[in-house]
Structures are given as structure tokens and as C-alpha cells.
Structure 1
Amino acid sequence: MRYREFGELVDEVFGPAYGRALVREQVLPRMEDRTPEEALEAGVEPRDVWHALCDALDVPDARRWGRDPHRQAPPPR
């Protein structure tokens, strides 16, 4: 997953305004209590941040991939 794809998924799954707020403010325990923004800036793979964000917010698998039913990021390592 690329940074651009991460941003697209945030917008599609959470909506642009709410999604951007989550990226800035949602603390992710799996990311050492960093926000998604902080984790990405620290070099964490966007795929891993995406899975941590979805897990923290209990996003079901069926909704994790936005509008593209064929889009899927591999599970975190």
C-alpha cells in the first residue's frame, strides 16, 4: 500500500473530514500509542497503520477496502 492509497482509503471509509481528524488524533496502541500521522512520519508502513486504525475502530473486513471490491492490502506482518 502506498501513502496515496492510505489517504484514499481514509477518505472512502471514514469520509474526508472525519478521516483526516482520525489520522491526526486517533491514538493507536499497536503503533506505540502514536497517531496514524505520527506512525507514518516515523516510517511505519501505510498498510500496517491502516490495519491498526481499522482494528482500533472495529471496522469490519467488508468495509476496510472502500469502494473497490478488488482492493485489499495484505495483512500486517
Structure 2
Amino acid sequence: MRITVFRRLMADEFGAGRAESLAMDHVLSDLGGRTVDQALAAGVPVKQIWRAVCAAFEVPAERR
């Protein structure tokens, strides 16, 4: 998955402003205690990050 696709999925799910805020501020235990932005910078695969976001926010399976 490309980062641009990931960002679009985030915006579609949470709204553009909230998606950006979540990526910067919300720490996810599934990402080793990192935020989305920190995980991206650390080279964590984007698909793994999306799965962690989906699990944390209980995104329905049809939108994962």
C-alpha cells in the first residue's frame, strides 16, 4: 500500500482534519507506542500501520 492511498483511507474514515490529528497525536500500542507519523518515519510498512489504526478504532471489516 502506498502512503498516498493510506492517507486517503484515513481521510475517508475519519475526515481530513481528524485523520491528520490522529496521525500526529494518537499513540498506538500495536505500533510499539508510536504515532502513525512516527511509525511511517521509522519505516513500518504502511499496511501494518493501517491494520493497527483499524484495530484501535474498530473500523468495520468492509472498510479495511
Q: Same fold (TM over 0.5)?
A: yes
- Equivalent pairs: percent with the same residue? 38
The residue correspondences of 1:1-77 to structure 2 (distance < 5 A) are: 1-64=1-64
If you compute each CA radius of gyration, which structure gives the higher value, 1 or 2? Answer: 1
TM-score, L = length of structure 1: 0.78
Higher helix share: 2
Could you list the structure 1 runs, at least 4 aligned residues long, displaced by more than 4 angstroms after superposition: none
- How far apart, in 1, do the equivalents of 2:63 and 2:2 lie? 19
- Superposition RMSD in Å: 0.8
TM-score, L = length of structure 2: 0.93
Aligned residues: 64
Greater relative contact order structure (CA < 8 Å, 6+ sep): 1
Unaligned runs of 5+ in 1: 65-77
